[in-house]
Structure 1
Amino acid sequence: MNDISAAPKPILEIDPRLLEALVCPVTRRPLTYDKAAQELVSPTAGLAFPVRSGVPIMLVDQARKFEPQKN
């Protein structure tokens, strides 16, 4: 029996207009889209918000944390 969860996820695009409208809920700064990871990234906050089935999940408790960039 095939395990569906092991199948690779299709890489989805984000509508550029949606990306322009979305901002980080912490910093209120623009986000960048990491297509391969399917995440919206806030380098200043050090957070990467998942995109699931084309829907951005903009909840801080669902975001992946990483070392923020220094300006």
Structure 2
Amino acid sequence: MSTPQPFDRHMLEALICPVSHKTLRYDADAQELVSEAAGLAFPIRNGIPVMLRDEARTLDV
């Protein structure tokens, strides 16, 4: 099993949620970018955020 690539936190400054157009929060443990406004968590795979609505996980409310 390979170790996940680290996510470049500076990328957060340029990324916004594609659904709500609000800022994202980085969850290092889950390797996700979380949009509280949209209630979604976008996965980070091999250090690359997957910013597709169909790939996002719905947050538990």
TM-score (norm 2): 0.85
Computing the radius of gyration over CA atoms, which structure comes out larger, 1 or 2? 1
- Structure 2: 5+ residue runs without aligned partners? none
- Structure 1: 5+ residue runs without aligned partners? 1-6
Determine the structure 1 residue equivalent to 2:19: 26
Give, as a single letter, the amino acid of the residue that structure 1 aligns with 2:26. Answer: Y
Cα deviation for residue 44 of structure 1 reads 1.1
Aligned-pair identity (%):
51
Which of residues 24, 43, 48 in structure 1 aligns to 2:41? 48
Which of residues 19, 25, 30 in structure 2 aligns to 1:37? 30
Question: How many pairs are equivalent?
Answer: 61
Distance 1:58 1:32 in 2: 13
Matches within 5 A, 1:1-16: 7=1, 10=3, 12-16=5-9
| Structure having greater relative contact order (Cα 8 Å, sep ≥ 6) | 2
